[in-house]
Structure 1
Amino acid sequence: MSEIHGVCEPRFGPVREAFARNFDEGRELGASVAVYQRGRAVVDLWGGRAGRDAAWRQDTITLLASATKGLVATAAMVLVDRGLLDLGTPIAEYWPEFAAGGKGDIPLRWVLGHRSGVVTVDPPLTMLDLEGGTAVTEALAAAVPAWEPGRAHGYHCLTMGWLVGEVIRRVTGLSVQRFFAQEIAGPLGLDLHIGLPDTRERSLACLVPPTGEQLLQGRANPELAGLNRAICDPASLFHRSTFGSLSLAGDPLAAAGLPQAEIPSCGGAGNASGLARMYAALVSEVDGIRLLRPESADRARTVEASGLDLVLRCHTSYGRGFMLPGGPMWPGDCSPTAFGHPGVTGVFAYADPDHELGFAYVPNRMTELIEGGDDRVRHLVEATHRSACG
């Protein structure tokens, strides 16, 4: 039996059981899971290995991949809640250069809902571009939408974070990295970061890609047949918006300086406790802090797009920067009002306003399903939902 550390209230015992079973059945290497309900931590568990010679500890963090989009969406919705951003205002009113290429009428909500069509960057960005920032902003301002904005939706794999981040910078004078740190992570005491701080590098778990067998299991999912074809097709929007938009030598996950770079769509780092606490603060008060008023939380989860995703080639549903239940990217049964975000590292986190709950799961064995949703997290999500409803 695997040794599981941390605390778990008796009512949420099924979560601990599901977490331990992931290890005992060989699905897991190292991981943490956390749940907040009504402002209190009711689950905070961890176990396994963070690296070859290191045990997973309470302060272990991992790269969050696309779950970072949830941090960016939180920052944007906090500014909406404060009246400093408007979801229906064209981005060009905040960022005039963005109007080039037929983008002058694209409102903020279309970017948050993956409807803007601005999904590719050509020519691809280099590591120097990512570190400098200005070249990224200029490339996005010059970009041409891949479809008529507002008429369809497709996952903004890399561009969502940079687009929203530039709007945040224009309004506040702060990068999304600094705004999140000062206005969200700092007040709530979250070990969550957009870009890995040098001070936390030693606590970073080593990511392990899925095995060939695990990848084959993931590709057997019929709902992902279109995505699996797109991954192998250099002409597909998926390929053009990911591999085709970056020019990084070798393994992108191992690129020097990449974890520290500000890549707000996928460059975050943190742990389950921090993610669960943040999502809980979106729908309830946590130690005297509530990030969004109830009406703003409702706007965050309002359906912006649902149906066939032109990039992922499967069914997806999006609110304002957050994924919503429905389709293969969302794991397990939970409240229909939930909103959150997965990541290719296996991370998944969400808020459940019906039960005033924040959930997060953070492993170091990457998922075989591109953006989370594998059996490990599905079992945890369903155990959490049963416990919260009990």
Structure 2
Amino acid sequence: MTILENPLVGTDLGLTGLSGVPTADGAQKAKDYTSDQEVRWCPGCGDYVILATVRGFLAELGLKRENLMFVSGIGCSSRFPYYLEAYGIHSIHGRAPAIATGLAVTRPDLSVWVVTGDGDALSIGGNHLIHALRRNVNMTILLFNNRIYGLTKGQYSPTSEPGKITKSTPMGSIDHPFNTLSVALGAEATFAGRALDSDRAGLTEVLRAAAEHRGTSFVEILQDCPIFNDGSFDALRRENAESHLIRLRHGEPIRFGADGEFAVVRDGFGLKTVRADTVADSEIVVHDAYTDHPEYAYALSRLSDQDLTRVPIGIFRSVSRPTYDDGVRAQLDAAADNHPVKENSLQQLLTGRETWTVG
């Protein structure tokens, strides 16, 4: 991957997403990140597995807990900050990326995380999500996707499949759902990944890469809602799950299936899946997460379908681009250098050249 020069900051992008964030003095354990709050999700909710995985991952990350900030919106997923022994904000419906942007800009010593759901992020929060992605703010966004509204008791969401019968669509949804990875990549996400709640090893791998990425990292986590959308991702957990999961590994040919019997090949401007024994090895696509061509990652995202016949998971894209927060801080520093403010200069501020006398 080419390290690009940041014209706003004047330094290269060799920094990671964790650069400048203080580390803990000693080894930590998952229990160190467990708060005293009672976890109040429904029995069997996929959020439990995600919480346990994140606690363990944070211990491996080794950051000071007071330099971790989790910001959530509204929804079942947004209770997440209560259950972590770190700083957190349970914020406003759909606005978590905006609040997280302010934190990332003003506090470069923080590792900033956004926890959101498919309804919170893609409905009322859609604008905030895409602008955080295009700005490339140094934060990690975890989108829990259960394809339903859980907290408000079972309405269809922006990711529900067509024909979905819910309390708000008794005759079946007629909406066409979002493909979350396509939305993120269309908004120029510099890091985009997907994981399954029950795949702790795969989820940890994606989380680690997301945390180390400098810029906005977007991670969709497929998770079950046992009350209002039970079994929505069962096809990805059964014995033949490997026939449905396309595991992406950088630098390796994209093959899947229990014995690698399926493969991904180019198909015009996109990609498609075929039986591996019907094509030459040279035709099988070798995954490149670091390519500067976003259309490749977008084509991968289009392999996903609503009936879960094919679902790519892993890291789709990871590239370097100047970050919004680095740029803002550089401009503030430049302004201070060019226009030094004198001590006790309130009068200077009030009567400076940016004021007018109104008769």
Common fold, TM-score beyond 0.5?
no
Indicate the structure with greater helix content: 1
- Report the TM-score, using the length of structure 1 for normalisation: 0.26
- Report the TM-score, using the length of structure 2 for normalisation: 0.28
Larger radius of gyration: 2
Structure with the bigger RCO (C-alpha within 8 Å, sep 6+) is: 1
